[in-house]
């Protein structure tokens, strides 16, 4: 199979909404692109590549790196000097933007070879220029730094890219259809960025066995004989191309009646959509859908289709709310639909294979292998230090003025039958999270871009110019480069050599890894304390959502510690998981400490620049197995030498007549800050978290 062979757009099975959204975005690029949310293996990249393959070739001015149209050249094009009368045709560009792309690669930069060779200041076009009059595909757009997403969406909305860098000031046309894909399990887009995408489609693999069989057969037939498969679907792809072309031609003639425009405005207001962008995009999409269906007047059915694609991702919601299912939207559409017999959609005799909304059928993703199962909690059985090791227990635990009761050495869970860990465990929901606020730290890290701790990052405040080691992946500091050249030569003029190149060292904000280790055993006692604990953790999760941290969750109860959530940027997964955690059973504290350290170690190997913090919420009692308390203390002594920052939130009942002080002793052994649960407020706990992050 040739690498250039593309799975036919019309052969994709089961993704009607995605096919329709992509088609409408091509018919009317002013819509603003498409965001595709869903798991891997659901034909996202396949449909984008297939769409590019059916679009007619472009006529461009020969030699123009910006693909200027010969009938309407861009007079501000940096290549206007080479514009001539020679016209060539080329396929519509499909430009794929990798997650690790630098800002220079996206928007363009100085041509370093020319600068070093001759001192010429020339502009090197970026991906935005290559995507002009084509498609720009961004996989995992939610993992891109916010400033890059802003640049993409600004260009997509304005149709022009502006590059203002040292010694470079360039504007050029950048009209393209932006398609971004993301898996919500890996983190969300900021609402401000989410709103900038014109349309949004949620995709998922079908749960119908017959549909899945059809997908598999199509994929296997394509792999067995791609040329024959493409030829078989060639006529259908040609029909799609012809329909797109006809809709583009008809689009300027489509009328949007006042009563339909009023319906759109009323619907958006009732649906609680922020701003007016939703109204505008819905109107543009309705016009494009009317043209797609061959109509010259927009109907209520066009509005219905447009609203389904343009509004659900714009509805105002809280950070931990789930995605809008669209049920409320359907009710509002029925409520505000004008009563007119003319609102029924016209059948399209030219496209018998179209889905119910006029879109092409969907299918397997050639680039993503398989549909992954869900991500269940990973049960991690961990071993603490051997219980046979001789370790002295503290004779006078802190915060206890009374004689030590027997359970101080080997505490047992109160109100829990330890002989039967399968006994019923209770669930308690969290209360209202505390309000998050911006905090700062003193130390400077080397972490990834975020909004938490101060760090050396790709964007931010200029500190100084340093040698440029990798010209292809780092931005050039022209001022620093010229200064280095001037200092290095005794004669007037500029003579640049590679060793003169400098880049700007910038100070910005980083994101951190916060590992929550939550005691869910029976020793946690009353439901009131469980609710306080969950509320405190949810407050930190809300703060992590706003600061772009990664989070992980370890729970421990019964006879094991469980890595309930591996490090992820999707804090809403952590919040949902926390709400489902039951309490009860023994307290495997040593195993929990080891599990948390293993999470930190694994993530440090994958992402060494992200600084960790472990937040342990427990009363310090250890009751799982022989010598449980001494094993936990030895483990804490060992981990305290590793340098990982910890915070111990003490869940022991501070009103008790006799307090064991085990959590405070644990904090001393870990080198951690100690905070009684009764004193936890949003500002108090988050200040400690950020101070520890800064010290990491």
Question: Active-site positions?
Answer: 277
CB 515 within 8 A of CB 600: yes
CB 260 within 8 A of CB 295: no
- Report the run of H or E that residue 23 belongs to, with start and end: helix 16-27
- Can you state the angle between helices 277-292 and 16-27, rounded to 10 degrees? 100
Scan for tokens 């023994």, then name that residue. Answer: 586
**Residue 92 structure tokens:** 């519509």
Beta strands in 29-122 (DSSP E): 34-38, 58-61, 87-90, 94-97, 108-110
Q: What is the spatial distance between Cα 623 and Cα 619, in angstroms, rounded to a whole number?
A: 12
Beta strands in 619-668 (DSSP E): 646-650
Strand partners, 507: 456, 461
Cα separations in angstroms, 159 against 62, 178, 325, 653, 659: 22, 11, 32, 61, 67
Burial of 323 (0-12, 13-18, 19+ CB in 10 A): middle
- Report the run of H or E that residue 224 belongs to, with start and end: helix 209-224
**Residue 629 structure tokens:** 């308390």
- Report the run of H or E that residue 544 belongs to, with start and end: helix 527-547
Backbone angles phi, psi at 396, to 5 degrees: -130, 80
**By C-alpha distance, which of 159, 137, 135, 138 is closest to 54?**
135
Scan for tokens 């997509």, then name that residue. Answer: 156
Question: What count of other Cβ atoms lies within 10 Å of the Cβ of residue 512?
Answer: 30
């Amino acid at each position: 199979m040739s690498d250039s062979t593309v799975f036919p757009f019309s052969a994709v099975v089961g993704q009607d909404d995605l096919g329709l959204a992509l088609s409408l975005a091509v018919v009317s690029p002013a819509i603003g692109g498409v965001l595709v949310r869903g798991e891997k293996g659901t034909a996202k990249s396949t449909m984008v590549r297939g769409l590019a393959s059916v679009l007619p070739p472009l006529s461009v001015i020969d030699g123009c790196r910006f693909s200027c149209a010969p009938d309407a050249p861009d007079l501000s094009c940096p290549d206007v000097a080479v514009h001539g009368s020679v016209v060539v045709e080329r396929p519509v560009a499909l430009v794929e933007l990798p997650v690790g792309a630098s800002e220079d690669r996206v928007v363009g930069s100085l041509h370093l070879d020319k600068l070093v060779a001759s001192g010429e200041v020339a502009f090197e076009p970026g991906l935005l220029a290559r995507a002009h009059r084509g498609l720009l595909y961004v996989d995992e757009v939610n993992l891109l730094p916010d400033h890059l997403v802003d640049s993409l969406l600004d260009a997509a909305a304005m149709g022009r890219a502006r590059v203002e860098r040292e010694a470079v000031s360039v504007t050029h046309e950048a009209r393209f259809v932006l398609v971004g894909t993301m898996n919500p399990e890996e983190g969300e887009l900021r609402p401000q960025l989410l709103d900038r995408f014109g349309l949004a489609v949620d995709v998922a693999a079908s749960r119908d066995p017959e549909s899945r069989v059809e997908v598999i057969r199509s994929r296997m037939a394509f792999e067995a004989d791609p040329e024959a498969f493409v030829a078989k679907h060639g006529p259908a792809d040609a029909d799609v191309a012809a329909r797109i072309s006809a809709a583009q031609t008809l689009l300027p003639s489509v009328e949007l009646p006042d009563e339909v425009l009023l319906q759109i405005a009323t619907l958006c207001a009732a649906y609680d959509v922020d701003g007016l962008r939703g109204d505008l995009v819905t109107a543009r999409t309705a016009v494009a859908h009317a043209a797609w269906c061959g109509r010259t007047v927009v109907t209520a059915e066009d509005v219905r289709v447009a609203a389904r694609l343009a509004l659900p991702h714009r509805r105002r919601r809280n950070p931990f709310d789930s995605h809008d299912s669209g049920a409320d939207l359907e009710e509002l559409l029925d409520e505000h639909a004008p009563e007119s017999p003319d609102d029924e959609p016209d059948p399209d005799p030219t496209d018998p294979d179209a889905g119910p909304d006029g879109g092409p059928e969907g299918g397997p993703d050639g680039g993503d292998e398989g549909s992954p199962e869900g991500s269940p909690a990973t049960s991690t059985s961990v071993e603490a230090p051997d219980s046979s090791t001789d370790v002295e227990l503290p004779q006078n635990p802190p915060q206890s003025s009374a004689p030590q009761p027997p359970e101080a050495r080997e505490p047992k869970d109160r109100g829990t039958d330890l002989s039967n860990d399968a006994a019923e465990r209770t669930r308690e929901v969290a209360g209202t999270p505390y309000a998050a606020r911006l905090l700062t730290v003193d130390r400077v890290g080397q972490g990834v871009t975020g909004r938490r701790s101060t760090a050396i990052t790709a964007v931010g405040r200029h500190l100084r110019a340093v040698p440029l080691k990798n010209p292809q992946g780092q931005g050039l500091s022209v001022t620093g480069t010229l200064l280095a050249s001037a200092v290095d030569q005794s004669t007037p003029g500029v003579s640049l050599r590679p060793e003169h190149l400098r880049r700007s060292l910038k100070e910005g904000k980083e994101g951190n890894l916060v590992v929550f280790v939550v005691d869910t055993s029976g020793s946690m006692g009353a439901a009131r304390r469980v609710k306080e604990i969950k509320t405190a953790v949810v407050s930190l999760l809300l703060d992590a959502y706003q600061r772009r941290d990664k989070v992980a969750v370890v729970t421990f109860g019964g006879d094991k510690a469980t890595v309930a959530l591996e490090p992820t940027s999707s804090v809403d997964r952590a919040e949902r998981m926390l709400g489902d955690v039951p309490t009860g059973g023994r307290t495997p504290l040593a195993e929990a400490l080891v599990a948390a350290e293993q999470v930190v170690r694994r993530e440090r190997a994958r992402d060494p620049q992200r600084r960790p913090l472990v937040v342990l919420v427990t009363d310090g009692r250890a009751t799982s197995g022989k010598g449980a308390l001494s094993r936990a203390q030895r483990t804490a002594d060992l981990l305290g030498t590793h340098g990982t920052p910890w915070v111990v939130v003490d869940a022991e009942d501070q009103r008790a007549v006799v307090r064991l002080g085990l959590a405070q002793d644990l904090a001393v052994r870990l080198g951690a800050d100690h905070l009684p649960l009764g004193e936890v407020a949003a500002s108090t706990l988050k200040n400690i978290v950020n101070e520890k992050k800064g010290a990491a």
